[in-house]
């Protein structure tokens, strides 16, 4: 089918080439990784980060205030950009394209755990080569095509080279840079040129070399930055630059993350400089976008990487902080300079818009979920229509929701939670974003007519895309505890690395520890600790609780084994059912066992992040989320 579609498109292109073809500008698509809406100086939401080159780009074109990724996680959004199709249609709904198992289609389980109302959807793990990508369409139109940076849609035979790109550097299939941003790296066949070379600097140089090599022909440059995804490291001199600028009262207070943002911005500037130097600026369309919202659940420099405030939530959530992203489009002859737009656009729109502006025919047998937003780029009145976000997963992150789908139409946003209502019905969140950008007031009960109307759009969308949907779980038991392990068992029942008390029911799932305190002495303990690490130590965690009482951390050392009241550090806990960050300092030089007592009453608790840091502040042990070697969260 792909061969037939490509052949048909090639024939159409041949006819098009003999017609009065419009000018064919070069196209540069810069995609940031995990860069949140508040991570730049574009919207007046940060006092720490510095992005002069993004401001420079915005002055050349149009800045969008209401641009959305098609998913709150990276791989689905990436596939949507290349196809103009929603992740619900493609089947890639989670960033699992680096796992060994090859799945080209999404599937759904028939049965789930007793505490879950909906069953689990398994995402496709590879970007099927049957899709006709934007790179293939442009290559057929005579463009040189190059991909630089992160891919995360599958290794060979699903790499950029099989999806229409002539060049792919560093030809890496992982969820982030291999090993670190600063060399030495761990890429399989890609080495640093010098000690401590920064991978983003290298990608910027490689992208400029591609521009220079193709300056006399049209080119499509896909520069998908590794920045600012985990692992969190940066140039030492930049980290030191930002240390004295940190406001401890600000939610954006990581000097490492600020340094990472600067490296991202500098390499945007590197491409702008090259286009100016080569006289290509007026012949080149540039898009800057991010694949999802900012990371709110890892820990770096003793805090979260960033904050998406005033938006709620972040990466891996269905709230605005997970999907509203920075976006700039500079298209000579189309966009005006220095214009700001509040038009609604989504990552699916770039495929049809690019084809339309180049005068290329539609791709046959290739249904589109995106829209041609040329009118918006020209600044004309334009109603794009609703946008949809499909996320049938529930990562263990702050502000997470059960498997869900959302629709934006105008200022209204409706989130459908699959089978979370009574007797298997769906539940809903409805927000008026014009007056409630932080999504604090759920209007679903007050506005049932709007819920019905928007939910009808969702139903039509899911049917049209053929989405694989979560099912109502036939094994759901409303009386089942969130955590079954440990019920009625001894004090030393074990879940993963953790033992727990008889007053604690414990499970570990979706990158989090889930606790139910059934009595007055809930606790979890572990001996899974690094032997060579040296203190003083600190324990950082993110937790929500509906219990009561102060928190305690007990510790055991080589010279003083066992837990006792002398070897205890207390800390205040907030039991409001919302996530809060805690950092507890342990004044000891070595550590052989650790125990966390999260209150002294019945309640439910979730620990979404739990790490141990040594005397230098480096993470020496990460239990939650369950991380890979790159220190990535449960969904990269």
Catalytic site residue from 98, 131, 152, 514? 152
Task: State the CB neighbour count (10 A cutoff) for residue 277.
Answer: 12
Among 316, 309, 342, CA closest to 440? 309
Report CA 137 to chain centroid distance, whole Å: 27
Q: Are 401 and 415 in contact (CB under 8 A)?
A: yes
Cα–Cα dist 306/622, whole Å: 19
Instruction: Determine the 3-state secondary structure of 611 from DSSP.
Output: strand
Q: Are 262 and 284 in contact (CB under 8 A)?
A: no
Report CA-CA distances (Å) from 567 to 309, 500, 538, 559: 38, 19, 14, 12
Is 74 among the catalytic positions?
yes
Catalytic site residue from 74, 163, 393, 429? 74
Among 136, 150, 135, CA closest to 31? 150
User: Any idea what DSSP says for residue 4?
Assistant: H
Cα–Cα dist 86/72, whole Å: 13
Cα–Cα dist 203/211, whole Å: 12
Q: Which residue shows structure tokens 């047998």?
A: 365
Complete DSSP assignment for 377-445 = HHT-------EEEEE----SSTT--SSEEEEEETTEEEEEETT-SGGG--EEEEEETTT-TT-----TT
Angle between helices 350-358 and 74-83 (to 10 degrees): 20
Q: Residues 590, 593, 596, 600: is their CA dihedral positive or negative?
A: negative
Cα–Cα dist 355/16, whole Å: 12
Q: Are 525 and 499 in contact (CB under 8 A)?
A: yes
Q: Are 197 and 170 in contact (CB under 8 A)?
A: no
Cα–Cα dist 177/175, whole Å: 7
Residues in Cβ contact with 521 at an 8 Å cutoff, skipping those fewer than 6 apart: 501, 503, 597, 600
Report CA-CA distances (Å) from 356 to 141, 353, 374, 375, 440: 13, 5, 8, 11, 39
Among 183, 156, 195, 192, CA closest to 172? 156
Strand extents, DSSP E, 178-311: 219-224, 284-290
Q: Are 582 and 543 in contact (CB under 8 A)?
A: yes
Residues in Cβ contact with 20 at an 8 Å cutoff, skipping those fewer than 6 apart: none
The residues that are catalytic are 74, 152
């Amino acid at each position: 089918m792909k061969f037939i579609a490509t052949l048909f498109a090639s024939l159409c292109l041949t006819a098009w080439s003999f017609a009065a073809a419009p000018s064919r500008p070069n196209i540069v698509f810069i995609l940031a990784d995990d860069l949140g809406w508040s991570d730049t100086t574009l919207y007046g939401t940060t006092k720490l980060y510095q992005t002069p080159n993004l401001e420079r780009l915005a002055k050349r074109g149009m800045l969008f205030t209401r641009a959305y990724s098609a998913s709150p996680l990276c791989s689905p959004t990436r596939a949507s950009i290349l196809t103009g199709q929603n992740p619900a249609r493609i089947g890639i709904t989670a960033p699992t394209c680096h796992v060994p198992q090859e799945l080209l289609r999404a599937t759904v389980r028939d049965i789930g755990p007793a505490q879950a109302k909906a069953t689990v959807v398994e995402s496709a793990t590879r970007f099927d080569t049957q899709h006709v990508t934007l790179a293939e369409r442009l290559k057929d139109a005579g463009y040189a095509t190059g991909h630089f940076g992160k891919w995360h849609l599958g290794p060979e035979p699903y790499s950029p080279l099989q999806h229409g790109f002539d060049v792919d550097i560093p030809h890496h299939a992982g969820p982030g840079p291999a090993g670190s941003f600063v060399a030495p790296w761990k890429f399989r066949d890609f080495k640093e040129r010098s000690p401590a070379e920064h991978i983003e600097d290298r990608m910027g140089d490689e992208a400029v070399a591609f521009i220079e090599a193709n300056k006399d022909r049209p080119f499509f440059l896909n520069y998908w930055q590794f920045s600012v995804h985990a692992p969190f490291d940066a140039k030492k001199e930049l980290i030191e630059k930002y240390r004295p600028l940190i406001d401890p009262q600000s939610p954006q207070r990581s000097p490492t993350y600020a340094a990472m943002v600067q490296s991202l911005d500098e390499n945007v500037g590197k491409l702008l400089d090259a286009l100016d130097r080569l006289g290509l600026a007026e012949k080149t369309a540039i898009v800057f976008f991010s694949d999802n919202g900012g990371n709110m659940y890892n820990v770096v420099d003793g805090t979260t990487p960033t904050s998406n405030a005033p938006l709620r939530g972040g990466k891996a959530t269905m709230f605005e902080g997970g999907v509203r992203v920075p976006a700039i489009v500079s298209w000579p002859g189309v966009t005006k300079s220095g214009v700001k737009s509040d038009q609604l656009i989504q990552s699916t729109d770039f495929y049809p818009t690019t084809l339309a502006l180049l005068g290329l025919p539609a791709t046959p047998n290739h249904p589109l979920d995106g829209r041609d937003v040329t009118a918006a780029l020209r600044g004309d009145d334009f109603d794009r229509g609703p946008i949809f976000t499909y996320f049938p997963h529930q990562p263990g992150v702050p502000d997470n929701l059960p498997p869900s789908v959302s629709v934006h139409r105008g200022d209204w946003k409706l989130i459908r939670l699959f089978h979370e209502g009574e007797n298997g019905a769906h539940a809903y969140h409805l927000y008026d974003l014009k007056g409630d950008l932080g999504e604090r007031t759920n209007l679903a009960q007050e506005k049932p007519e709007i819920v019905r109307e928007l939910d009808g759009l969702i139903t039509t969308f899911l049917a049209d895309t053929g989405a694989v949907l979560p099912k109502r779980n036939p094994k759901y038991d409303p009386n089942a505890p969130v955590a079954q392990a440990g019920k009625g068992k001894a004090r030393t029942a074990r879940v993963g690395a953790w033992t727990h008390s008889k007053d604690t029911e414990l499970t570990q799932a979706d990158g989090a520890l889930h606790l139910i305190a059934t009595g007055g002495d809930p606790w979890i303990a572990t001996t899974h600790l690094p032997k060579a690490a040296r203190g003083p130590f600190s324990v950082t965690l993110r937790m929500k609780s509906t219990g009561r009482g102060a928190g305690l951390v007990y510790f055991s050392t080589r010279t003083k084994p066992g837990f006792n009241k002398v070897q205890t550090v207390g800390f205040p806990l907030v039991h409001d059912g919302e996530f809060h960050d805690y950092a507890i300092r342990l004044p000891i030089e070595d550590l052989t066992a650790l125990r966390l007592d999260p209150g002294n009453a019945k309640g439910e608790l979730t620990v979404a992040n739990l790490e141990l840091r040594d005397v230098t502040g480096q993470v020496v042990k990460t239990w939650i989320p369950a991380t890979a070697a790159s220190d990535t969260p449960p969904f990269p």
